[in-house]
Structures are given as C-alpha cells and as structure tokens.
Amino acid sequence: MNSMRIIVITGDGLEHRYVANMLAAKVPLAGIVVDHGKPARAIEKVRKYFRRYTTVQLMFRAGLAVLRRVWRDRANRREAVLSILGRESCLEFLHSELLQHVRGINTPEGVRAVASLEPDVILVYGTGIVGKKVLSLARRLALNMHTGISPYYRGCDCSFWPLYNEELHMLGATVHECIKEVDGGRIFGTTGIQLQAVDNLFAVAARCVEAGADLYVRKVQELMEHGLEGAPQDLSSGMEYKAIMRGARAEWKVRSSIRAGMILRYVQSHRETKSDSVPVPVGK
C-alpha cells in the first residue's frame, strides 16, 4: 500500500500552499501540480462573463467588488489566513522538488504533467473543475477536499452560506471522491471546526481549511493503510451554491450578523461541543 504514487493538484494561493504542505509533511507524494489557470485575453474574459451572467448580475458583481475594496477584504483575508494557518506553511511550497506548474489543468499541458507522474491517487484541492481526462489518470482513486459539509453545502463559498443561514454547526470540510459532478462522489469523511469568539468572516474560512487539511491527511493515511469506505451522497439534500448567489445583500447580512455577536453567542452556547461534532451520517 505504501508504494502508491500519490499526487496533489492545487492552486497557488495561501490556503493551497498550506494544504499541499500539510499533505507533503505526512504523506509520501510523487508530485504537486500547481494550476495557475488557463490564460485568456481580456476580450475572451468579457465574452465568458456575458455568457455566464446577465447584465444585472454583472452590475451586482461589480458593485460587490467595489465594496470589498472599501472593506479592505484582500488585506483582512490575508491577515486572517496567515494568523490561523501560519506564515511558514502558507507563503511558499515547502517541497519545491515536487512542483510542476501548469496554466490550466485540463489543457494538454496539464494532462501531460499529471500523466507524467503516473498517479495511483490524485488529491485535488482548490482548483477549477478538474476534467474527466485528468481524473481518469488516477489508477486507483481521485479525492477532493471541499471546505463545506457535503451534501448539504456544495459548490462555492460553503464557509459563507452556513453563516448566512445561521447554521454555524454546518461549518467544516468534506473529503470525497472527485468525480465530474461538483462536490459529488462518495463521502469518506467530514469534520467541523472550533470557532473562536473573535472570528471574522475570513477567520471562519481559514478554520475550515485548517480542519479540512487535517482530515485530508488522516483519510489519505487510512487509504494507504487499509483503504477507504465511503457513503454515497444524496444530492437531493442540501444545495449547490453558485458564485453569483453571493451578492452585496447576502454579504452585508453576514457581516452585520457577525458584528452583532452571532459567532460570539454560538461559541458561548457551545463551550462543550467538540470540533468534529457535525450531524452527518458518515465516518469521521
């Protein structure tokens, strides 16, 4: 079992480096493929947005982008991520000898990079949708770590929507089989997070990454030792959230609720709750 060739496919953000570094520290990796995204000309990006969104939706997205600049989201997010996940684990990939960089995981370049590593197991985190051609290169299994509790919270921003719905017990992460359906496939484990009273929106997201990375390591180690048993997902449960759904009104509601003490009240009322107490009927 220990001779399995295991690779990671991920992005190049702070949280991507953290997850890759946590895996590399505990799991013998054959490679890390870092996807920097397929390059596109400005006109192609504009066309894509107009195909995906209506004019009104684009206006709302533009308005939200302005608000995020006013709120200094980029700096606040970076501060929260580095504080919780640690600078030394986020600022760079710690195993440069394992790295291959590609511009689009589903491009011929991306497929060649993955194929060259001859993976038995592919571990995905934080990329766009990985296509069937790449996933089929895993001789044994492809896994994904999703920072949300599947199947109840699937898709985008799944550390945000439990706050919006005031379901803070549904903040966490899932390790599941990576298939073509978004956050689909058999579930191999879920975990919750331990919130702190002073947490903001970005700290919550970072804690989901932290808990998810720990779960990922444990599940890959289990796979190496004796295999994994998964539970099929009922995709009629919960909801798949789209990026466009996170508008200014939803953003304002969540931030106002946090300022009004939503997280503080939750922490005070759940002093004795364990960090992995998530009401999902699959093995931890």
Q: What is the pLDDT of residues 124-171, one digit of tens each?
A: 999 989 999 999 999 999 999 999 999 999 999 999 999 999 999 999
Lowest mean pLDDT among 36-45, 178-187, 250-259: 36-45
Assign residue 171 a region: left if phi > 0, alpha if psi is -120 to 50, beta otherwise?
beta
Alpha-carbon dihedral sign for residues 179, 181, 182, 183? negative
Residue 105 sits at the vertex; the CA angle it makes with 101 and 109, to the nearest 5 degrees, is 65
Summarize the confidence of residues 223-249 as an average pLDDT. 91
Do the beta carbons of residue 154 and residue 243 sit within 8 Å? no
- CA 178 – CA 200 distance, rounded (Å): 30
For the chain, the domains span 6-269
Lowest mean pLDDT among 25-34, 88-97, 177-186: 177-186
Residue 2 pLDDT exceeds 70: no
Summarize the confidence of residues 183-212 as an average pLDDT. 95
Residue 214 pLDDT exceeds 80: yes
Neighbours of 190 (CB within 10 A): 28
For residue 3, the model assigns a pLDDT of: 84
Query: Using 50, 70 and 90 to split pLDDT, how confident is the model at 45?
Result: low
Summarize the confidence of residues 257-269 as an average pLDDT. 97
Query: Using 50, 70 and 90 to split pLDDT, how confident is the model at 178?
Result: very high
Domain 6-269 architecture: 3-Layer(aba) Sandwich (3.40)
For residue 47, the model assigns a pLDDT of: 75
Neighbours of 203 (CB within 10 A): 22
For residue 52, the model assigns a pLDDT of: 72
Residue 96 pLDDT exceeds 70: yes
For residue 175, the model assigns a pLDDT of: 97
- CA 110 – CA 128 distance, rounded (Å): 13
Lowest mean pLDDT among 14-18, 207-211, 274-278: 274-278
Q: For residue 49, which of 36, 62, 38 has the smallest C-alpha distance?
A: 62
Residue 1 pLDDT exceeds 70: no
